[in-house]
Amino acid sequence: MSQLLNKKFKRVLSIETSCDDTSVAVVRSDGFVEGLISANQDSFHEPFGGIVPEIAGRNHTLHLLPLIDQLLSDTKISFDDIQGLVVTNRPGLVGSLLVGISTVKTLAQILELPFIGVNHLEGHLQAGFLSDEKHAAVKIEYPYVALAVSGGHSTIYLMHDFGRYEVLGATLDDAAGEAFDKFAKMLGLGFPGGIRVDQHAKNGDAKKYDFPRSMIKENNADMSFSGLKSSAARMLQSMTADEILQNREDLCASFQAAVVDVLVEKLNWAIQKTNCRRAIVTGGVSANSLLRQRCEAWSVKNNIQLVVPPLRYCTDNAAMIGFAGIQRLNKGEFGDLTMGPSPSSLSIDFIGQNR
Ligand code: KG4
Ligand code: ZN
């Protein structure tokens, strides 16, 4: 063990199977991504209008080992070149997490490599600092504010240091990505919805429909998107199918503007409150084109250093998990064979309210 404590981990193999994406990566300790391959399951879940946990778990078992083989052959990296293994072990769908965890434990035994399980959200929080052949490395000093918005979470953190993340506020009900997905479903746009709402909104009039911006004026970093969802459902019920079809772009643009207004305002609140001049915006919804534009304009106007991950690192991927994990391994933290999955974050993961 003492040998491991002094070991410097230069390169890890990482696995992400917490939800519906099967993803594997090779990441270096400086955040450089040497390889990343993901298998998307959208076509399997689309007929059900959302993620079916059993189907997700089953597909991970089919995809994971071939993806690892392909990653190693594409990158020409062998197991001998890897010093450790990283896997998402929380929060997520337990059946999906188990596929990644049992694979990593097995590889660790066979290859005699140390491993660690990391929190998926910590992965998103590290995604802005990944680099590759097309994207230069970005650095930011602690402390900074982070807005993490995905299908399951919408949370604002004060990032004190690596591993010390204080929750400043969070959604009280639906996550922003969930709101996008549900709205897309109501409009018949299919699954996953966020990107489709984004695409339809591009030529729409964002002022045409007045959707609520719940809690936007409240003196806190909390959010709520369930009122917006109900308001959208009522609006669509009052329209004919033809009207909805003809106004789809305006509906998407107006709905998207309501979500983005809230997110930018709450990020701004956190910046004012903490007096930090640095921020990151991350998670699947950070791929949203309006959110990216609005955050960029806000950061320029207010002289804030802003980091938003390249699109390939916004949605779920193993590279962000690898970078979170290799930093932990280099701090002397390791998993053991008793490690299991957890559907939620642990109390040790975040300071403050554990949402
Ligand atoms: O981080 P992520 O890949 O998975 C979770 O950890 O949840 O985030 C997925 C969420 C989905 O709700 C998806 O609709 C949303 O991110 N999303 C978007 C966009 N791309 C993905 N939402 C709005 N605009 C987008 N362009
Ligand atoms: Zn995610």
The stretch 84-98 carries a mean pLDDT of 98
Ligand nearest to the backbone CA of 21 = 1
> Which ligand 1 atom sits nearest the alpha carbon of residue 259?
23
pLDDT band of residue 1 (cuts 50, 70, 90) is low
Cα of 175 to ligand 1 centre, how many Å? 10
Instruction: Give, using CA atoms, the residue closest to atom 16 of ligand 1.
Output: 284
Ligand nearest to the backbone CA of 149 = 1
> Per residue in 134-179, pLDDT tens?
999 999 999 999 999 999 999 999 999 999 999 999 999 999 999 9
> Per residue in 203-244, pLDDT tens?
999 999 999 999 999 999 999 999 999 999 999 999 999 999
Give the contacts of 84 (CB within 8 A, at least 6 positions apart): 9, 12, 13, 113, 114, 115, 116, 325, 326, 329
Output the ligand 1 site: residues, CB below 6 A.
19, 150-152, 177-178, 180-181, 192-195, 198, 283-285, 287-288, 315-316
> Which ligand 1 atom sits nearest the alpha carbon of residue 199?
26
The stretch 30-58 carries a mean pLDDT of 93
Cα of 195 to ligand 1 centre, how many Å? 7
pLDDT at 42: 87
CA distance 226 to 307: 28
DSSP 169-196: EEBSSS-HHHHHHHHHHHTT--SS-HHH
pTM listed for this prediction: 0.95
Beta bridge partners of 33: 27
Torsion of CA 65, 68, 70, 73, to 10 degrees: -130
